Amino acid sequence: MGTENTKAIESLRKNILKEAEHISTFVLDKNLNFKDFIISNEEERKIIEETLVFDIPDWKRVKLNPQTLYFKDAGFNTINWTIPVDKIHTYYQLHRILAYIYVNYKFCPLIYLATERVLYKYKMDNNLTNFVFDQTQAVSSNVYEKAEEIKRELSKKDYYNNYEDLIPLDETLTTSFAIEKIQSVIRILGNINCKKNRNISTLNVERFLKQFDTTIQLPMLQLISNIKVLSPENELPDKIKTIREEIEKDKKIGVLPLGDFMNSSSNLLKNLKDTFLENNITSINVNSDLIKNLDYILVIDDNINTGIQCLNIMMRYLGCDKTNISDEKQKELWMDLESKRGDIQEGIKKEFSEELKNKKFEFLFIAGHETSAETLKRHLKDYCKLKPKDFNITIIHTLKDEDKILSSEYGGYSEDSIFGDIKNNFDKNVMKRDETQKMLNVLREVGTALVKKKNIVTKHKQKPADNALGYRNRENLVVFANSIPTMTYTALWCEGKYNKKDWYPLIPRK
């Protein structure tokens, strides 16, 4: 082991000992009932010093593949790579990534807590954001339970102020009911494929909840347990079939993605190939010559939002001129026809646009606000010069203002609506209006802070407070298997800083 590593370990050792002494002094000063597990005199301090051992791996030999030593059935192991059974221990010692800290058993809970605090401080001092503190499988159950018991009492005395990730869960979240709710959230969100390179776990849920005051952690768990994940493969085929049946059989239909191949529209169309084939619908891309043979164009996306993105992309598809539109109106509608915002990568050929102007359109969205269809209809008429008789807009699930979970009237909800069902279910489980009001205030405060540096504020000059509870404060809890709508509660998906600290959203957007 190099001199640098030796010095680092010695520094870590000193810091852990110092923290153990600090915890011991705190326990004595607050007269907490844990004197058998702390340093009460010089002799006990000496025992810890003599038995505190660090077993650090040789980082140069570390193997990061967690299945390297996994033998499901040794009798059927391939002869291409084998290891003698009596050498497994040696191999592990040479290639492991885990480090171990040993101490006299009596003081294991104390060193457990001291080490956590030292590493947390190292994390904060070095601006490391991906640390997770979870000792459930790292130490014996007796040590873990005693350490966590001590931690809960220390936390009540504010010992863990500014150490948020180490604060124990509120006791209301350790009941069998809450544990099952957390597992339910994990099952629901396990269907999402758009998270940032991670699978959601109990730790992710707990870490998210810990960011809130303990008085609303359980109601917040109730809120996130009502998230609904919709799959385009389940929602769209029947509607596509209906659209096909309502159009004359001799008319040819093509489906065009709303934006480039990286957008949500293109991604969901990839999984609907069989549906298009069954309904004799042709898939086309921008500038395709196939446009000449079509009568109708089907445009599909998961979320219509306000319709502004759809409008901007359609204007570019159709080669619309915006010179006659006032600068103020262009800013309001985020018109950006010259730049490549990622919506369309290649230039639109004039021939394609001219052919497109002669087609009829069917717009199909999985979700949208109750005002979205009429707003988009007006925009398409005014700025794309489409005649109302030449296009239809269908939204499968419509979010009404009365279905806003926290800010709308208690007990009020729309029937026969997925959004209404969510609102109704939440109201049945969280009946205290002071709790919902507190949740609303906190989510608004967090969302306002997070959205300040997003394009909607910095580029499009929208007020942070108007988008603190999701885009246009929609308070949405319906998400998709491949994307998180921005109209979802901002605190659920938006990364950033709140009170000068990193905010950890539950379902961060890509």
Per-residue pLDDT tens digits for 260-275: 766 788 888 988 999 9
pLDDT value of residue 93: 64
Residues 133 and 184 in one domain: no
Residues 500 and 390 in one domain: no
**Which amino acid is residue 110, in one-letter code?**
L
pLDDT range class, residue 77, cuts 50, 70, 90: very low
Q: Which is more confidently placed, 340 or 215?
A: 215
Predicted local distance difference test score (pLDDT) of residue 63: 52
- What pLDDT, on the 0 to 100 scale, is given for residue 126? 82
217 shares its domain with 310: no
For the chain, how are helix, strand and coil distributed in percent, rounded to 5?
50, 10, 40
Q: In this predicted structure, what is the pLDDT of residue 8?
A: 83
- Closest listed residue to residue 490, CA positions, set 481, 369, 457, 206: 457
Q: Both 220 and 299 in a single domain?
A: no
Q: Would you give the DSSP letter of residue 483?
A: B
Instruction: Give the number of other CB atoms < 10 A from CB of residue 381.
Output: 14
* 109 and 193 assigned to the same domain: no
Higher pLDDT, 275 or 343: 275
pLDDT at residue number 60: 62
Assess whether 212 and 275 both reside in one domain. Answer: no
Backbone torsions φ then ψ of 132, nearest 5 degrees:
-125, 130
Tell me the average pLDDT across 364-375: 96
Looking at residue 341, what is its pLDDT? 44
What average pLDDT does the segment 176-185 reach?
94
**Are residues 408 and 330 located together in one domain of the fold?**
no
- From its phi and psi, is residue 447 left (phi > 0), alpha (psi between -120 and 50) or beta? alpha
pLDDT tens digits, 106-145: 999 999 999 999 998 888 888 776 666 777 777 888 999 9
Considering Cα of 101, then 106, then 112, then 115, what sign does the dihedral take? negative
Cα dist from 75 to 41, 71, 72, 80, 90, whole Å: 55, 9, 9, 14, 21
CA torsion angle for 152, 153, 157, 162 (degrees, to 10)?
-30
Apex 258 CA angle, 252 and 263, nearest 5: 135
What is the pLDDT averaged over residues 144-168?
Answer: 88
**Least confident span in 315-319, 326-330, 496-500:** 326-330
Give yes or no for residue 179 having a pLDDT over 70.
yes
pLDDT tens by residue, 376-400: 999 999 999 999 999 999 999 999 9
- Number of other CB atoms surrounding residue 494 within 10 Å: 25
Distance, CA of 342 to CA of 320 (rounded, Å): 19
pLDDT band, very low/low/confident/very high, at 28 (cuts 50, 70, 90): very high
Let me know whether 259 and 361 are in one domain. yes
* pLDDT at residue 61 is higher than 90: no
Are 157 and 177 members of one domain? no
- The reported pTM is 0.79
Same domain (yes/no): 272, 381: yes
Whether residue 337 is found in the same domain as residue 435: no
Instruction: Assess whether 386 and 340 both reside in one domain.
Output: yes
Mean pLDDT score across all residues of the chain: 87
Q: What pLDDT does 73 receive?
A: 47
Domain annotation covers residue 61: no
| CA neighbor of 314 nearest in space, from 284, 286, 280 | 286
* Type of residue numbered 283: S
Domain count within the chain? 3
pLDDT, position 24: 96
Q: Which residues contact 55 (CB under 8 A, 6 or more apart)?
A: 99, 100, 101, 102
Confidence of residue 374 (pLDDT cuts 50, 70, 90): very high
Asked whether the CA dihedral 391, 395, 400, 404 is positive or negative, the reply is: negative
Which residue, among 131, 112, 110, has the nearest Cα to 120 in the 3D structure?
A: 131
Expressed as residue numbers, the domain containing 126 is 3-56+99-168
What pLDDT is stored for residue 327 in this prediction? Answer: 86
- 422-475: pLDDT as tens digits: 999 999 999 888 999 999 999 999 999 999 988 888 887 889 999 999 999 999
Residue 86 lies in a domain: no
Supply the pLDDT for residue 346.
62
Is pLDDT at 340 greater than 50 in this prediction?
no
* Residue 304, domain CATH: 3.40.50
pLDDT-based confidence at 1, cuts 50/70/90? very low
Q: Terminal CA-to-CA distance of the chain, rounded, Å? A: 41
Task: Answer yes or no: is 175 within a domain.
Answer: yes
Judge whether 41 and 73 are in contact, CB under 8 Å: no
Angle (CA) 83 86 88, round 5°: 55
CA distance 421 to 255: 32
